[in-house]
A and B are shown apart, each in its own frame.
Chain A
Amino acid sequence: KQEVTQIPAALSVPEGENLVLNCSFTDSAIYNLQWFRQDPGKGLTSLLLIQSSQREQTSGRLNASLDKSSGRSTLYIAASQPGDSATYLCASRMDSSYKLIFGSGTRLLVRP
């Protein structure tokens, strides 16, 4: 049974800092892994999707990597801004269904 873990649960950094959020999973037979952000009281916004055959994906200041052999994915945020403050969730997809297994998230606060 797939388990997805995100550490740390919360992170506070000063504006401008580069940071890395971690996501680990127990079953490496994933189809893909997706990163989301969630603002308070809102739904999830898709950030990056990495296919199982890919090593990384980039979008603007965000870069996500995937290492299936070690069961890890990281989300790198460059030059963080207060607007990046949100909860970041990773989710693995194991098969052709859209049953995603979510981590519990990392709550990020970027201080001005």
Chain B
Amino acid sequence: KAGVTQTPRYLIKTRGQQVTLSCSPISGHRSVSWYQQTPGQGLQFLFEYFSETQRNKGNFPGRFSGRQFSNSRSEMNVSTLELGDSALYLCASSLRTGSGLDSPLHFGNGTRLTVT
């Protein structure tokens, strides 16, 4: 079974530009979450999507947005990039059950974004 796939693996952008990152979850997984990882702040939750609906959102500015498609694939977008947006962006998928309590998260290898 293929794991969570994130593309691209690396991105270099300039301040002020925008970027779109893509995530394909494990087959059958309908929940997709996004996390930002930086040396200073560690891993921080961005948002979660399930059935094309945003279920939860972390404490990030509105420049960070996402969406999920009917095939569960997800994209996140960051507009007006700032130097502080440089980070490893990780996508995770889960087999959300009826209770939603007992499914582990499975992570992709991330997209390394560098903003210059």
Report which A residues bind B (CB closer than 8 A). Answer: 31-32, 34, 36, 41-46, 49, 51, 89, 91, 96-105
Contact = CB atoms under 8 A, between A and B. Distances in A.
Contacts of B106: 46
A15 to B, nearest CB: 27
Interface string B97-116: 00111101111111010000
Contacts of A31: 101
Chain A contact surface mostly: strand
B101 A32 contact: yes
Contact of A34 (B6, B33, B100, B104): B104
Interface stretch (B13-21, B41-49, B68-76, B78-86): B41-49
Contact of A100 (B4, B105, B110): B105
A44 B107 contact: yes
Given A100-B33, A103-B42, A104-B42, 8 more contacts: A32-B101, A44-B105, A46-B104, A46-B106, A91-B43, A98-B55, A99-B45, A99-B56
B58 interface: yes
Contacts of A91: 43
Interface of B: 4, 6, 31, 33, 35, 42-45, 48, 55-56, 58, 90, 92, 94, 96, 99-102, 104-110, 112
- What are the 7 A-B residue pairs with the smallest beta carbon separation, nearest first? A97-B56, A43-B107, A102-B43, A44-B107, A96-B100, A43-B109, A49-B104
Contacts, number: 63
A97 B33 CA distance: 9
B82 to A, nearest CB: 23
20 contacts: A31-B101, A42-B110, A43-B108, A44-B107, A49-B102, A91-B43, A96-B99, A96-B101, A97-B56, A98-B31, A98-B33, A98-B48, A98-B56, A98-B94, A99-B45, A100-B35, A100-B43, A100-B105, A101-B45, A102-B42
